[in-house]
Amino acid sequence: MLFLKTVIFLQILCGFCFIGLHSKIQHDYNFVVKEAQYTRLCSTKSILTVNGKFPGPVISAHQGDTVYVNVYNKGQHNITIHWHGVKQPRNPWTDGPEYITQCPIRPGEKFRQKIIFSTEEGTLWWHAHSDWSRATAHGAIIIYPKENRAYPFPKPHAEVPIIFGEWWKQDVRKVFTEFLTTGGGPNNSDALTINGQPGDLFSCSKSETFKFNVDQGKTYLLRIVNAAMNLILFFSVSKHNVTVVGADGFYTKPLTTDYIVISPGQTIDALLYANQEPNHYYMAARAYSSGTAVPFDNTTTTAILQYNGNYTPISSPPLPYLPYYNDTQAAFNFFGSLRGLPNKYPKTVPLNVTTHIETTISVNTLPCPEGHSCAGPNGTRFAASINNISFVAPSIDILEAYHYHIKRVYSKGFPTFPPFLFNFTAEYLPLELQIPKQGTKVIVLNYGSVVELVFQGTNLVGGIDHPMHIHGFNFYVVGFGYGNFDKEKDPMKYNLIDPPLKNTVVVPKNGWAAIRFRATNPGVWLMHCHLERHLSWGMETVFIVKNGKGSNETLLPPPPDMPRC
Ligand code: C2O
Ligand code: CU
């Protein structure tokens, strides 16, 4: 009898948790990729969306959950979807980059993608990973602590995604084909956006500016994503500081600041304390762009922090302070101030490095093909490379070629050291160094290798910051600096105590950054610059991490509905 009572009691309890859980978190999503009409900057055009939304739907989960997304391609072109910053242990199959881990989903087809969350907690995002389709096909991923676990900071009263984007009046597909055809740089976007809106400083936009309502005295969590294509951004809120508590899906030590910097690919969780006089305050973002003679969209996007209450709002609120466009110092003061929360992941910075990799990351030029005219520097075509190899995408994805032993899709032996040594960051460099090789080479890593990877920016064609991103891993940013990496002196200054755990690191213009990670995720994983034009020009390579010995150290089997090439 008592037993029966307990069962009934448990069932009632469970019924409640079930309802409680499912009212907030869903484990199966439908993503319908389709065109939709959107009006911005006084004109209407058709854009690629997920479920007709721009930005797209939010995926929410708890730490450690597994979620499924049914992706239906109801558009006119091939598409893939990537879960940026989700490590997907042993499951590169549904990671998403086209021709790396899958062939694209063709129009009319469907792919059920499994997202395996593990240690990530905070904010990440998803985006299309084919051509330039991610310009409008992207959205936030929110990973809450496990049930009954708390944030490592006071619970905010409410939260809001703040997603930065870029808007072109032109069809983005045209922007993409145009610059790849001419060999020149891509057209700049016409506006930056916050949650899809350019804001008050643009014509026809004022009434639709994104507004966030707050109560005086309460604290809010901003889940910030930079989904822009080609721009690192400064962001700040007029008269308010923010306190950064997380980055790239991991908590950080609280950092209170009057501006943040965020590159494409990065995410930031920041608390905002509504501690000012009730009124309207601008939030604003604009470019951080350090390249000399590199054109960029220099507009400012705004949203409004709107206090609840009875008051007459000021008619034109002042814009917040933002560092100047090329303020590298301001950018790297911010990046350098981020610290991981070591008590959350004790002593996990790997100390015994087994595999040293050093790579140059460069913008390059290729000679113009005979009989053509090219719009790159001095009549060349732009390219970009890692260790002087400009990546050429294969026509069958590398993961399948690896798994089914298909020959001549890729080759091993990507150089793990720069093939030419020169003063990488010198002001003048011989023109012949600008020309890269082209190829589809991968870096093979043994399971469990402890990797230290140094990214060395070069001044070829022109130095600029590169936000480097790796799929399948998080890494510790143990150091960065200006000029050439010095392998004797620079490692002495590494932070091996509390470096932030990231998935995207900004390598300073004419400088370097060093990261460390353990290769305990078997599979095929893309590494690339998250400035979309550099990716399109070939600044990418692939890691193949071999299986380990244990049964949970090997690749999971492919899903039954892998898209076919
Ligand atoms: Cu944001 Cu290859 O990814
Ligand atoms: Cu780059």
Burial (CB count <10 Å: 0-12, 13-18, 19+), residue 254: middle
- Each residue's pLDDT tens digit, 292-347: 999 999 999 999 999 999 999 998 899 999 999 999 999 999 999 999 997 666 66
Place of tokens 């400064």: 234
Give, in order, the Cα–Cα distances in Å from 208 to each of 162, 193, 196, 201, 237.
Answer: 15, 11, 10, 12, 19
Res 316: pLDDT: 87
- Each residue's pLDDT tens digit, 514-547: 999 999 999 999 999 999 999 999 999 999 999 9
Q: Check: CB of residue 294 under 8 Å from CB of residue 325.
A: no
User: Do residues 371 and 487 share a domain?
Assistant: yes
Burial 498-513 (b: 16+ CB within 10 A, else e): bbbbbbbbbbbbbbbb
Res 523: pLDDT: 98
Which CATH number do you get for residue 228? 2.60.40.420
User: Do residues 297 and 359 share a domain?
Assistant: no
Is 345 part of any domain?
A: no
Cα dihedral angle (133, 470, 441, 431), rounded to 10 degrees? Answer: 80
User: Do residues 231 and 379 share a domain?
Assistant: no
The predicted model gives 222-243 an average pLDDT of 98
The predicted model gives 201-226 an average pLDDT of 97
- Nearest bound ligand to the CA of residue 264: 1
Q: Is the CB of 255 under 6 A from ligand 1?
A: no
The predicted model gives 121-126 an average pLDDT of 98
User: Do residues 55 and 180 share a domain?
Assistant: no
Give, in order, the Cα–Cα distances in Å from 172 to each of 177, 178, 225.
Answer: 9, 10, 20
* Residue 4, pLDDT above cutoff 60: no
Res 345: pLDDT: 61
What are the backbone angles phi and psi of residue 558, rounded to the nearest 5°? -70, 150
Query: If DSSP codes are grouped into helix, strand and coil, which group holds residue 23?
Result: helix
Q: Is the CB of 526 under 6 A from ligand 1?
A: yes
Query: If DSSP codes are grouped into helix, strand and coil, which group holds residue 24?
Result: helix
Q: Which domain holds residue 177?
A: 158-337
Final residue before a domain boundary, out of 144, 170, 188: 144
- Provide the 8-state DSSP code for 542: E
Q: What are 476's two structure tokens?
A: 């510790």
What is the C-alpha separation between 190 and 202, in angstroms, rounded? Answer: 10
If you measure from the C-alpha of residue 530 to the centroid of ligand 1, how many angstroms do you get, rounded to a whole number? 6
Res 342: pLDDT: 72
Share of the chain above pLDDT 70, in %: 95
The predicted model gives 188-210 an average pLDDT of 97
What is the C-alpha separation between 61 and 25, in angstroms, rounded? Answer: 6
- Each residue's pLDDT tens digit, 423-443: 999 999 999 999 999 999 999
- Nearest bound ligand to the CA of residue 463: 2
If you compute the radius of gyration of the chain from its CA atoms, what whole number of angstroms results? 23
If you measure from the C-alpha of residue 339 to the centroid of ligand 2, how many angstroms do you get, rounded to a whole number? 24
Is 221 part of any domain?
A: yes
CA-nearest residue for atom 3, ligand 1, is: 84
What are the backbone angles phi and psi of residue 533, rounded to the nearest 5°? -65, -35
- Nearest bound ligand to the CA of residue 455: 2
User: Do residues 119 and 242 share a domain?
Assistant: no
Burial (CB count <10 Å: 0-12, 13-18, 19+), residue 270: buried
Q: What are 470's two structure tokens?
A: 């790796």
| Domain tally, the chain | 3
Q: Is the CB of 223 under 6 A from ligand 1?
A: no
What is the C-alpha separation between 531 and 466, in angstroms, rounded? Answer: 7
Q: Is the CB of 534 under 6 A from ligand 1?
A: no
- Nearest bound ligand to the CA of residue 529: 2
Final residue before a domain boundary, out of 310, 337, 364: 337
Res 430: pLDDT: 95
If you measure from the C-alpha of residue 299 to the centroid of ligand 1, how many angstroms do you get, rounded to a whole number? 25
Is 496 part of any domain?
A: yes
Res 320: pLDDT: 98
Is 461 part of any domain?
A: yes
Closest by Cα among 6, 129, 115, 131 to 64: 115
- Each residue's pLDDT tens digit, 21-52: 434 678 999 999 999 999 999 999 999 999 99
* Cβ-based neighbour number of residue 550 at 10 Å: 9
Closest by Cα among 175, 302, 281, 179 to 233: 302
User: Do residues 14 and 62 share a domain?
Assistant: yes
What is the C-alpha separation between 458 and 477, in angstroms, rounded? Answer: 19
Q: Is the CB of 528 under 6 A from ligand 1?
A: yes
If you measure from the C-alpha of residue 221 to the centroid of ligand 2, how many angstroms do you get, rounded to a whole number? 30
The predicted model gives 88-93 an average pLDDT of 98
Is 278 part of any domain?
A: yes
Burial (CB count <10 Å: 0-12, 13-18, 19+), residue 8: exposed
Least confident span in 68-77, 263-272, 311-320, 474-483: 311-320
User: Do residues 375 and 235 share a domain?
Assistant: no
Is 239 part of any domain?
A: yes
Atom of ligand 1 nearest to the CA of 264: 1
Q: Is the CB of 138 under 6 A from ligand 1?
A: no
* Cβ-based neighbour number of residue 537 at 10 Å: 27
Query: If DSSP codes are grouped into helix, strand and coil, which group holds residue 355?
Result: strand
User: Do residues 317 and 396 share a domain?
Assistant: no
Atom of ligand 1 nearest to the CA of 127: 1
Res 346: pLDDT: 60
Res 2: pLDDT: 40
Mean predicted lDDT score pLDDT of the chain: 94
Q: What are 253's two structure tokens?
A: 């030590």
| Dihedral class, residue 431 (left if φ above 0, else alpha if ψ from -120 to 50, else beta) | alpha
Is 514 part of any domain?
A: yes
DSSP 102-151: BPPBPTT-EEEEEEE--S--EEEEEEE-STTGGGTSEEEEEEEPSTT---
- Each residue's pLDDT tens digit, 412-422: 999 999 999 99
User: Do residues 118 and 207 share a domain?
Assistant: no
User: Do residues 184 and 47 share a domain?
Assistant: no
Is the torsion defined by CA of 427, 433, 437, 442 positive or negative?
negative
Q: Is the CB of 97 under 6 A from ligand 1?
A: yes
Q: Is the CB of 62 under 6 A from ligand 1?
A: no
Q: What are 101's two structure tokens?
A: 């881990």
Burial (CB count <10 Å: 0-12, 13-18, 19+), residue 549: exposed
User: Do residues 324 and 227 share a domain?
Assistant: yes
Share of the chain above pLDDT 90, in %: 93
Res 23: pLDDT: 43
- The helix (H) or strand (E) run that includes residue 177 is helix 172-182
Query: Which residues are CB-neighbours of 158 under 8 A, at least 6 positions away?
Result: 218, 220, 221
Final residue before a domain boundary, out of 337, 372, 394: 337
Q: Is the CB of 127 under 6 A from ligand 1?
A: yes
What is the C-alpha separation between 551 and 548, in angstroms, rounded? Answer: 8
pLDDT greater at residue 7 or residue 323 = 323
Is the torsion defined by CA of 45, 46, 51, 56 positive or negative?
negative
Res 344: pLDDT: 63
Query: If DSSP codes are grouped into helix, strand and coil, which group holds residue 333?
Result: helix
DSSP H helices, 300-371, are 328-337
Is 316 part of any domain?
A: yes
Antiparallel, parallel or unpaired: β 219-226 and 267-273: antiparallel
Res 11: pLDDT: 36
Give the rounded distance of the alpha carbon of 207 from its chain centre. Answer: 30
Res 24: pLDDT: 62
If pLDDT is split at 50, 70 and 90, which confidence band does 231 have?
A: very high
Query: If DSSP codes are grouped into helix, strand and coil, which group holds residue 341?
Result: coil
If pLDDT is split at 50, 70 and 90, which confidence band does 460 have?
A: very high
Q: Check: CB of residue 541 under 8 Å from CB of residue 443.
A: yes
What is the C-alpha separation between 482 and 456, in angstroms, rounded? Answer: 10
Atom of ligand 1 nearest to the CA of 526: 2
The one-letter amino acid code at 440 reads T
Q: Is the CB of 129 under 6 A from ligand 1?
A: yes
DSSP 142-160: EEEPSTT---SSPPPSEEE
- Each residue's pLDDT tens digit, 236-280: 999 999 999 999 999 999 999 999 999 999 999 999 999 999 999
User: Do residues 379 and 513 share a domain?
Assistant: yes
